[in-house]
Chains A and B, each alone.
Chain A
Amino acid sequence: MDRDARMNRPFGLLAELTYRCPLACAYCSNPLELAAYNDEMSTAEWQRVFTEAAQMGVLQCHLSGGEPMLRRDLVDLVRTAAELGMYTNLVTSAIGLSRSRAEGLKEAGLDHVQISVQADEPVTSDRIAGIPSFERKLEAAAVVKDLGWPLTINVVLHRQNIDRVAEIIALVEELDADRIELANTQYYGWAWRNRTALLPSREQLAVAEEIVRAAREHLAGRMEVVHVLPDYYSEYPKPCMGGWAARQLTVAPNGDALPCPAAQTLPLPRASVREDSLERIWDGSPMFTAFRGTSWMKDPCRTCDRRELDFGGCRCQAFQLTGDAARTDPVCHLSPDHAIVAEVVEAANAGTRRDEEALVPRPHRG
């Protein structure tokens, strides 16, 4: 492998082990066509993928889903990833994370646990999650701390819980988490379907931002506070995934290899780890090379000073909103399509809007 190839290898693998999930969150970024992913890869197939990933330079393995705890072979998969020297991260709803299963994962070498929480109290949390789950999450968080893992609590923020951000932070402080991710919803998959009911108003965001800023100061040195702002309200787009097929890759439950979890929506030929090696897919498949670098860009990105900073934003969002994945992400105020986003934002700020509009839950199981 020459030096250029070695320096351009991915750092992280997002292993979406299954799209089955006991929760039914309406902001889920999993694909709408969940049934297309029922043919999940076997233990041996995942182990081969992890081995290939480690050999090509992947250093972190995020075990996610759906709910990864539903994989009965999770302990074996963690053990393989850990033995390969990768830093292993479990991304879970915490349903199924009993003390005995947690001990098994710890023994297998799991490095870090991220638990999702939907709100600061059971009524809203269970309504958003679709099943009674709040208390079990708190219990699991205590087990994670008790076994000596670093704990991240992830909270997806949206119109129906963002007003509780102070109480949410207080809860997470009580759980003694090491990190909190307050991530405003990104509109892919089921969140896209529920966008109108989820997108907060400008005022909600401004209030939340002030609360998070104060909390960050108050928690400095004790808890890392990550705040992901909604790109619909940003002047410039997010530097999605640190650039297309630059730093991360995703493998879906059925073996589809993707530059990001939403990329299955794009009209590009499938690349599957069941048919080819991860390295060949990363280096040469159209799925991975289509938007790598900057040569695919059109104006205004092509000549923009920020093209190496935000890489034109999100390809999936550009496709979703304009039908052309090579256009500038319409959240950018320089995009010729920016009116599409501006209209949605305006609607979210209309005075007549109720805060708790009905959500379409994703089905519990794929």
Chain B
Amino acid sequence: MPNDGAAADPAATPRPTPPAVPPSGHPALSRHVRMRFDRTRERYVLLGPESVIVLNPTGADILGLCDGQRTVSDVAAELQGRYDRVVDDEVATFLARLVANRCVEIDDGP
């Protein structure tokens, strides 16, 4: 190949500022991204073109609910039922980062 910059640091490329996540939007994993359990690291991971994201358990729970049907508010409400603390901001912040990475898409329609 090559010479495709694999040795360099893609993280050095500035990322666009995370967009605001509308509470009424319907988040889902991007078509090109796969979530699976990694037995080695005992964590869920997101796999996409040239990227691996190791998820913490809360992140995996959030994405497990992002089915394109539930809204961002629905996801936060469900998690609040599971955990004791308020997670609204956490859900929005987490999803905004993944939207910026193109791992999650948010359908703004009704």
Q: Which of B5, B31, B34 contacts A181 (CB 8 A)?
A: B5
Q: A11-B52, A59-B52, A186-B7 are in contact. Are A6 and B41 (CB under 8 A)?
A: yes
- Asked if B49 is an interface residue, CB under 8 A from chain A, the answer is yes
User: What 4 A-B pairs come out closest when comparing CB atoms?
Assistant: A57-B40, A183-B5, A228-B5, A87-B47
Q: How far is the CB of B7 from chain A (nearest CB, A)?
A: 5
Q: How many residue pairs between the two chains, A and B, have CB atoms under 8 Å in the bound complex?
A: 129
Q: How far is the CB of B66 from chain A (nearest CB, A)?
A: 18
Contact between chains at A66 and B1 (CB < 8 Å):
yes
Interface of A is mostly: mixed
Contacts of B1 in A (CB 8 A): 16, 28-30, 64-66, 91, 116
Q: Which of B4, B40, B48 contacts A156 (CB 8 A)?
A: B4
- Asked if A188 is an interface residue, CB under 8 A from chain B, the answer is yes
Interface of B is mostly: loop
Contact between chains at B3 and A27 (CB < 8 Å):
yes
Q: A85-B36, A231-B8 are in contact. Are A150 and B49 (CB under 8 A)?
A: yes
Contact between chains at B50 and A241 (CB < 8 Å):
no
8 interchain pairs, CB-CB under 8 A: A25-B3, A60-B52, A87-B52, A178-B49, A179-B49, A183-B5, A188-B7, A238-B9
Contact between chains at B38 and A59 (CB < 8 Å):
yes
Residues of A bordering B, CB below 8 Å: 1, 6-7, 9, 11-12, 14, 16, 25, 27-30, 56-57, 59-60, 62, 64-66, 85, 87, 89, 91, 111-112, 114, 116, 150, 152, 154, 156, 178-179, 181, 183-186, 188-189, 191, 216-217, 220-221, 224-229, 231, 238-242, 248, 260-262, 314
Contacts of B36 in A (CB 8 A): 85
Contacts of B6 in A (CB 8 A): 14, 62, 241, 248, 261
Contacts of A65 in B (CB 8 A): 1-2
